[in-house]
Structure formats: C-alpha cells, structure tokens
Structure 1
C-alpha cells in the first residue's frame, strides 16, 4: 500500500540540522505513527512521504518554510515580571502558555533582566533547515474513528 491521504503511516527517523547535529530520533524506540494528510507532521516531510511504501528509505532536506517556519521577530517580547503571577523564580529556558491575538501559544523565557522578562513564541526549530533520514515501517488505511479524530490511535483504540 502506498502512502496517500488518510493512510496511517509508521516511520523510523533521525532528524539532524545542517551541521549534522542530531535533533531527534526514533532509534531504539517505537516508530512515529501519523495520519497522512491531517497535518500531524511538518508539510515538507509529509509531502516527501506521499507515494512511498513499506521498506522505502529516503533522505529529505526541508527548508524552514516547509518545516516550522521562519523566525518571526514579532513573537519575541519583553514583558514585566509581574505578568508571571505565582512564579517566584523565573529562569531562562522555562516555558509558559500565553494568550495572544491568534489564541493560546507556548513561549520560552530567553532573558531575565531585573523586572523585565524576554519571551519567545517561535518554535524552537523555526528558521532551521531540517534533514530527515526516514524508513517507512508500516502503512495502513485509517479507521473511521482515526479519521473523525484527525490522528492515529494505538492498539486497542485511543484513550482520550
């Protein structure tokens, strides 16, 4: 079976940046399962996997526009420390959920200077070219439940 719209696909992958540093990998663990065409993975990888089948191996280079997007300087803001009510010790690297004009988003603290905290709402991989080494391990038709939920369910069904 070839990978197409509404296929459940399982892949093993290693993700590296252009310097060859490993960012993520399924090596030694379970393969990543996703519903093809549901936006569960980045567009560049999903497009490269269309038409592939079990056993296919591929190397895919993905520019930021087809990955996590370019870095947006408008998503970096200085906010007063008092905006973090109930948090006594704010440190670089901490993440918080914030409300924006586009809805809820995750932000990461990048700087703490006196009463001001700099937060960044960009994805950690925004602006980064991605390199995937992928092997397709399984392809099957999605169940009606998976299609209605928009994601893959594990053995025995999904537990919400």
Structure 2
C-alpha cells in the first residue's frame, strides 16, 4: 500500500541539524506513527513521505520554511518577573503555554536578568535546516474515528 489517502504511517527516524549533530531519534524505541495528510508532522517531511512504501529508506533535508519556520525576532520579548508570581522557581529553559494572537503557543525562558525575564515564542528548532534519516516501518488504513479526529489513536491518546 502506498502512502496515499490519509493512511497511518509508522517510521523510524534519526534527526540531525546542519552540523550533523543528532537531535532526536526513534531508534531503540517505538516508531513514530502519524496520520498522513493531517499535518501531524512538519510539512517537508510529510511531503517527502507522500509516495513512500513500507521498507523505503530515505534521507530528507528540510529547510526551515518547511520545518519549524524561520527564527522570528518578534517572538522574543522581555517581561517583568512578577508575571511569574506564585511560582516557586523560574529558570532558563522552562517552558510555558501562553496566549498569542494566533492561539496557544509555547514560550521558553531564555534569559533572566534581575527583574526582567526574556521569553522566546519561537520553536526551539526554528531557523534550523534539518535532516531526517527515515525508514518506513508500516502503513495501514486509518480508522474512521482517526480520520474524524485528525490524528491516530493508540498509546498516549486520551479518547477512543
């Protein structure tokens, strides 16, 4: 079965950056499964897997625009420390969900200077050229419910 008409696709992958540093991998764990065509993975990788079959192995280099977007300086801002009142500890690297003009967004604390905290709404991989080494492990038809919900059901899914 080719990877068409919104199937559930399971892949093993290793993700590296432009410098060749390994950023993530599913090797030694469960494959990543996603509903193809539903936007569950970055657009560049989904596009590259559109004609894949079980057993295919490919290396795909994806530019930022087709991955997590370009780094946007407007997504970085400095806020007052009292915005984090009630928290026992505030540290660089902590992430929070915040409301943005485009809906909920994840922001990361990148700097703390006195009473000023710098937060960054960019995805940590924004602006990065990414390379995926991928092997297609399985392709199956999505269930009606998976199609309705726009994602696969299985481990970690909290509804049927």
Q: TM-score range by the shorter chain?
A: over 0.9
Q: CA deviation at 1:31?
A: 0.5
Runs of 4+ in 1 over 3 A off after TM superposition: none
Q: Which position in structure 1 is the counterpart of 2:39?
A: 39
> SS where residue 38 of structure 1 aligns?
coil
Q: State the Cα deviation string for residues 67-93 of structure 1 (Å, max 9, x = none).
A: 000001111000000111211432111
Q: Which position in structure 2 is the counterpart of 1:131?
A: 131
RMSD of aligned Cα (Å): 1.1
Q: State the Cα deviation string for residues 73-115 of structure 1 (Å, max 9, x = none).
A: 1110000001112114321111111122222211110110111
Q: Which position in structure 2 is the counterpart of 1:96?
A: 96
Cα separation, partners in 2 of 1:107 and 1:159, compared to 1, 3 Å: closer
**Counterpart Cα distance in 2 of 1:86 and 1:5:** 48
Q: State the Cα deviation string for residues 34-69 of structure 1 (Å, max 9, x = none).
A: 000000000000000011100000000000000000
Q: Which position in structure 2 is the counterpart of 1:51?
A: 51
> SS where residue 146 of structure 1 aligns?
helix
Size of the aligned set, in residue pairs, is 158
> SS where residue 142 of structure 1 aligns?
coil
The residue correspondences of 1:75-154 to structure 2 (distance < 5 A) are: 75-154=75-154
Cα separation, partners in 2 of 1:66 and 1:77, compared to 1, 3 Å: same
TM-score, scaled to structure 2: 0.95
Q: Which position in structure 2 is the counterpart of 1:67?
A: 67
TM-score, scaled to structure 1: 0.95
